[in-house]
Chains A and B, each alone.
Chain A
């Protein structure tokens, strides 16, 4: 029924599994252990992160407020102001980490992120339209941005027709589409009224201050569905790491699998845009770094979707918390923090890539 101990090359990847008739569930212990530890760290960190900042809370008071105890002020601060923000960071990071992992697996390239598909530019354009079309200087509701991301994706699929080998066709046309969408947005901003432009600018900074509308209701249901679908696909996705012929000979419908992975990545990136703001600029680092760190923790082979997601959640939560605390009472946007860390990290990836040949 269960078996453990048989490793692949080098004997480092421990495995376990259950077989019930024709169905089997197998897992490798190292990614599982990594996921459990990360989840524990994330859960344990929450009360401390929520307690940080003005208001004079400690972790105990936070936990009390979380379960409905404490003064009304404490409950307001914890339940209605800080918790939505923290959940925004976690959900946004989760979506970004998994989206990044899907893209890197699909393209077999550590530098591939959802940002190169025009997702971010599509979202920015939609936010800009929401400001201009309404004629006021108000930003549209949170789902404006994901809608723009999906529209960009639809346009991309129409333009490419076929996703081509390793999705390269999609990636190349995606890059071109991003450029077109970005210049359209910039043209719009320079034509538009200044106060409209500044509303869009505020959105584009990637701050999580007062974010939280997206983590209630339909957004979270959608996120859950997409994450579960991705997880169910994980074993097939692992085969994408081989070249196309080998994957096909192992019984994988490569094109179909690539298309689904791409779709899931875009929906996740679009959700992340709606939850946490633009993913291309400042937040793009999360989608890039999470899968790379996750592979280090979970070991190869395999597609560490869950670990990537959890790393992403921890990174965004960490960036937002640092930004909230360092220059208090003012705030640095989480996006600014990830940008500062992101540059050196990208250089490190490029250098270690070239060493690996």
Chain B
């Protein structure tokens, strides 16, 4: 197959020992029902991302994202490497000497195209289509269940030590929200797949919405403390979402990640928990 770098990769018919070098590829592997032979730790973390930990806690770690240990990779003897999002041609060149390497996405591609490329590399298009169908069904059901809130605006924010950053229009969680037919606040319409710069607390009204989904990358640490401090401030307490009790704390490493098929389901799960009346 041809990967996103334009390289022609000779992938094996039925790859069995597959290493996923990015979160997204790991997510795709698990969603397609394959046991990963190895993976890297998530951004700013020392382990696989939290939302995948239950399924992947025994997968060998071969280093950080973008810095895999080539020696560990050789030891694992993979027959296929999925290396989405790697910017470094030299590194990709080395990987290709170890095993056929498919670069499944570029940094601004969405999770579906990355998922499709992974499925093609693994020869599991059938399961890929079945998964997407399941996702569509889940979205339709949830949309119906949300009912009265179906035209609510949803703000998505990662708090970092320097302040809150909202996710841009085409970021992963934003696309899931859009699939549900929910809107983002007017202040959060800028294009892009990443997040805004950290906002000053004076601009806090830009994170407001009917609903506010709010997370930090890690459960403890500076970002957490910054968020705790902000919560005490009148400007934060004055937000509409706060006054109405519609602030939902979520796992920032899931909601503000690049995402993947299982991540999309996990985001739907969080939304259901928060927004569907019981």
Binding site for B on A (CB under 8 A): 53-56, 73, 76-77, 80-82, 131, 136-139, 141-142, 193-196, 198-199, 202-203, 207, 209-213, 324, 328-331, 333
Contact = CB atoms under 8 A, between A and B. Distances in A.
Interface string B75-112: 10100000001011111011101100000001110000
Contacts of A80: 94, 97
B108 A207 contact: no
A238 B108 CA distance: 54
Contacts of B74: 54-55, 73, 76-77, 81
A210 B96 CA distance: 11
A252 B192 CA distance: 60
Given A210-B91, A324-B69, 16 more contacts: A54-B71, A54-B75, A55-B74, A76-B98, A81-B71, A139-B89, A194-B195, A199-B87, A199-B88, A209-B69, A213-B90, A328-B69, A330-B61, A330-B64, A331-B63, A333-B67
A210 B90 contact: yes
Contact of A202 (B63, B66, B68, B193): B66
Contact of A329 (B69, B93, B95, B107): B69
Contacts of A330: 41, 46, 61, 63-64, 67, 69
B194 A53 contact: no
A202 B89 CA distance: 12
A142 B90 contact: yes
A82 B97 CA distance: 12
Contacts of B89: 138-139, 141
Given A137-B106, A194-B194, A209 B91 contact: yes
A86 B67 CA distance: 17
Contacts of B162: none
A329 B59 CA distance: 13
23 contacts: A53-B71, A54-B72, A54-B75, A77-B74, A81-B97, A82-B70, A137-B107, A138-B89, A139-B89, A142-B90, A193-B192, A194-B195, A195-B107, A195-B108, A195-B193, A199-B88, A203-B88, A210-B88, A210-B91, A210-B95, A211-B90, A330-B63, A331-B69
Contacts, number: 105
B263 interface: no
B90 A137 contact: no
Contacts of A209: 67-70, 91
Contacts of A76: 74, 97-98
Nearest to B108: A195
Tell me which of A55, A131, A211, A328 has the highest count of chain B C-beta atoms within 10 A of its own C-beta: A55
B41 A193 contact: no
A298 B5 CA distance: 50
Contacts of B254: none
B88 to A, nearest CB: 5
Contacts of B93: 210, 213
Nearest to B70: A81
Nearest to A138: B87
Nearest to A54: B71
B84 to A, nearest CB: 11
A211 B91 CA distance: 7
Tell me which of A194, A324, A333 has the highest count of chain B C-beta atoms within 10 A of its own C-beta: A194
B11 interface: no
Contacts of B63: 329-331
A194 B258 CA distance: 13
B71 A77 contact: yes
B62 interface: yes
A273 to B, nearest CB: 14
